[in-house]
Amino acid sequence: MTTEQDLNKAGSKAVATVETPAAVETAAAPKSVAAAVSQAKEILEHSVTEHTHAELKKADATVSDSTIALIVEKAVSASMNSIVPVLERLVAPTPLEAEQMETLAKQRERFAREKKIMMQQEGENRKNLAAKQANCSHLDANSKEAIALSRNFPDRQARGICMRCNLTITPKEYRCPLPPVTMEQALKYIQHVERSEGIFGVTPYEDPKTCRIEDGKPVHGTGLVTHFLYPEHRLYHRVRELLSREQQALAS
């Protein structure tokens, strides 16, 4: 900024200061504006000349690089020392922010607690349902079949659903893992199904296009498993029986 600009700024500042209501009330307001401007001009002129003298003195003296480095370092550390407390004050949360943070932390804790309880309940529900299905005869109070037929499936094969325990009796069917899994993951999954659901004979199918090619041929076991072939449910014969009964009823 040039000296002229500085002076104008100083002048306008002085005017701005004087224009406060308290100052306007006094009768000598215009006089003090002029006085303030001239004073500001004097101060600036004085500081500018001093500054110029200092510059000239510096230019005359030969200053080594290390001295400059030392001066810069000192200046930087001094300014940082004054800035750091201000920054700390700015970074420190206000009482409102602290309260909000506390509320958020409490909410997070509550969600975690509720999720844990929910997971426990879900696990218990699964166990209870499995026990109910295992002990269900799938017959109603009159010892008649409680299994209903459902045909609303894209493979056009009928499924049976027990009205008492919600067990789904599935035919031999394909089930697709999403996303496709490696053969290693597929074998682990089959073991899990055998242990937890008692279903044996699930066959994994891998996409030969995803297999590693050696000597122009895909290597079995290196590709991605895109679908499993599940055997039919051990009670599917009851679904078949229901289907034949239905056909007989239609024929007669």
Q: Which residues bind Zn ion (CB under 5 A)?
A: 136, 138, 162, 164-165, 167
Contacts 24+ apart (CB under 8 A), 123-129: 129/165, 129/166
Q: Which structure tokens are listed for 188?
A: 């682990």
- Pick the closer one to Zn ion by CB: 162 or 181: 162
- Pick the closer one to Zn ion by CB: 162 or 239: 162
- Pick the closer one to Zn ion by CB: 10 or 158: 158
Please report how close the Cβ of residue 132 comes to Zn ion at its closest, in angstroms: 8
Give CA–CA dist 222/232, Å, rounded. 28
Task: Name every residue whose Cβ is closer than 8 Å to that of residue 158 and which is 6 or more positions away in sequence.
Answer: 149, 150, 151, 171, 239, 243
Place of tokens 């000598």: 28
- Integer distance in angstroms from the first to the last C-alpha of the chain? 107
- Pick the closer one to Zn ion by CB: 149 or 165: 165
For residue 30, give the nearest of 22, 42, 19 by alpha carbon: 19
Please report how close the Cβ of residue 148 comes to Zn ion at its closest, in angstroms: 11
Please report how close the Cβ of residue 135 comes to Zn ion at its closest, in angstroms: 9
- Pick the closer one to Zn ion by CB: 227 or 238: 238
